[in-house]
Amino acid sequence: MPLQIVRNDITKMEVDAIVNAANNSLLGGGGVDGAIHRAAGPELLAECRLLEGCETGQAKITKGYQLPAKYVIHTVGPLWNGGTKGEAELLASCYENSLRLAVVNGCESIAFPLISSGIYGYPKEEALEIAVSTIRSFLLFEDTDIMVYLVLLHRAEFLRDSERFAELRRYIEDMDRMTNISTVNIMSEAARASQKLEPKRRMFGIGSLISAKALKADESAAMPLMDAEMEEAAAPQSLESILKQMDETFSQMLKRKIDESGMTDPECYRKANIDRRLFSKIRSDDHYRPKKVTAVAFALALELSLDEAREMLMKAGYALSHSSVFDLIVEYCIIHEKYNVYEVNEMLFAYDQVLIGG
């Protein structure tokens, strides 16, 4: 998986390079900077003294000394100043310049902390959004197979409660009510307390499962209509279409769908957050059975409809169930055409689910 979000202490990461969220002097400090210097030993500071500081948004490289990582890339994030002082651009350039420096130095893997989101006060949610979108663009548009880890020290509750995921939260809650699945631990108490859903809202939350014409203002009328709609979706298929589906394997369907989409193979596996070698394996073996996270990644990258996604998953032996949080998030994203695998992974990470890709 070319970009993985993980929860860990960055000083423990066994990668070619770890990134340090430093200050302009490069002479150490608190937070992740302090942790890296402590773990690397005094030789790191000695080498840093030779670098003569670093501009905000730029990056410089040193050896890793006693760290498991071969290199430390020191970058200086912006101090949060309300968001009007070019903070977003500066933060994005920290990721971009660090990635370039890593590639130029032959690194095959790199781990980032969430730069600026601690002592420098950048709102964590926005900092994460910038990190993910900048890394994504780099991986999509630069010719590199570098493996990137975004390392978060703590759980990402801040994401689960964020406004950006409010609709997803409602969707999971609605499904929870409908299916009576136990998602007691899915939502924080704060999020639950802040959500008093009005009937209409709830209906729209269930949203695209119900056709617009079926929506009525009266909540009690919504349920039977919805059941009918779901039954319709589950109507038996013709024998011919079942046989056709049985004939085509996952790998064959993937190749056909890539051709139909007009994408090239690299465009597709990069968009799916899939490693080139894994893609080659799937491509060359018609009977390859991918993991569910891999199959889902391709369904999203190919922007399949929910029915097509279900079909593709079925070929690999999987289904989407309403009693699994992972499946609900995937279903929500497909229904709402949120096909950006990297953003889907942010949602999955927020809910402590396994991430998509391979």
- Under the binding rule (CB under 6 A), the answer on residue 21 touching ligand AR6 is yes
- Structural contact between residues 62 and 48, judged by C-beta atoms closer than 8 angstroms: yes
- Structural contact between residues 110 and 17, judged by C-beta atoms closer than 8 angstroms: yes
**Which of 2, 57, 64, 118 touches ligand AR6 (CB under 6 A)?**
118
Of 169, 176, 170, 88, the closest CA to residue 133 belongs to 88
Question: Which position among 33, 174, 275, 327 bears the catalytic label?
Answer: 33
- Under the binding rule (CB under 6 A), the answer on residue 92 touching ligand AR6 is no
- Structural contact between residues 268 and 275, judged by C-beta atoms closer than 8 angstroms: no
Binding span for ligand AR6 by CB under 6 A among 3-11, 63-71, 168-176, 334-342: 3-11
Instruction: Calculate Rg over the CA atoms of the chain.
Output: 23
Q: Which alpha helices (DSSP H) does the chain contain, by range?
A: 31-40, 42-49, 87-104, 124-141, 157-160, 166-179, 189-193, 199-206, 219-233, 239-247, 250-261, 265-271, 276-284, 292-301, 306-315, 325-335, 341-350
Both tokens assigned to 10? 């960055």
Q: In angstroms, what is the minimal distance from the CB of 36 to ligand AR6?
A: 7
Binding span for ligand AR6 by CB under 6 A among 29-37, 260-268, 275-283, 349-357: 29-37
**Which of 31, 53, 123, 207 touches ligand AR6 (CB under 6 A)?**
31
Residue with smaller CB distance to ligand AR6, 67 or 333:
67
Active site residue 327: no
- Under the binding rule (CB under 6 A), the answer on residue 9 touching ligand AR6 is yes
Alpha-carbon gap, residue 270 to 257, rounded angstroms: 15
Binding span for ligand AR6 by CB under 6 A among 6-14, 132-140, 176-184, 265-273: 6-14
**How far, CA to CA in Å, does 179 sit from each of 175, 230, 353?**
6, 13, 20
Residue with smaller CB distance to ligand AR6, 29 or 207:
29
Instruction: Say whether 76 sits in a helix, a strand or coil.
Output: strand
Determine the length of the chain: 358
**Which of 54, 72, 114, 150 touches ligand AR6 (CB under 6 A)?**
114
Q: In angstroms, what is the minimal distance from the CB of 89 to ligand AR6?
A: 16
- Under the binding rule (CB under 6 A), the answer on residue 320 touching ligand AR6 is no
- Structural contact between residues 39 and 64, judged by C-beta atoms closer than 8 angstroms: no
Residue with smaller CB distance to ligand AR6, 23 or 273:
23
**Interface pattern 127-156 for ligand AR6 (x via CB under 6 A):** ------------------------x-x---
Residue with smaller CB distance to ligand AR6, 128 or 329:
128
- Under the binding rule (CB under 6 A), the answer on residue 23 touching ligand AR6 is yes
**Which of 10, 73, 132, 147 touches ligand AR6 (CB under 6 A)?**
10
Residue with smaller CB distance to ligand AR6, 9 or 108:
9
Q: Positive or negative CA dihedral for 258, 262, 264, 267? A: negative
Torsion angle of C-alpha atoms 212, 213, 216, 221, degrees rounded to 10: -110
Both tokens assigned to 177? 């009510």
Binding span for ligand AR6 by CB under 6 A among 4-12, 226-234, 256-264, 290-298: 4-12
**Which of 57, 64, 77, 290 touches ligand AR6 (CB under 6 A)?**
77
- Under the binding rule (CB under 6 A), the answer on residue 35 touching ligand AR6 is yes
**Which of 45, 51, 88, 119 touches ligand AR6 (CB under 6 A)?**
119
Question: What are the E-state strand segments in 38-87?
Answer: 59-63, 71-76
Residue with smaller CB distance to ligand AR6, 79 or 214:
79
Half-sphere exposure of 298 (CA within 13 A, CB side): 32
Phi, psi dihedrals of residue 63, rounded to the nearest 5°: -75, 170
Catalog residues that contact ligand AR6 under the rule CB under 6 A.
Answer: 9-11, 21-23, 29-33, 35, 77, 113-120, 151, 153
Catalytic positions, please?
Answer: 33
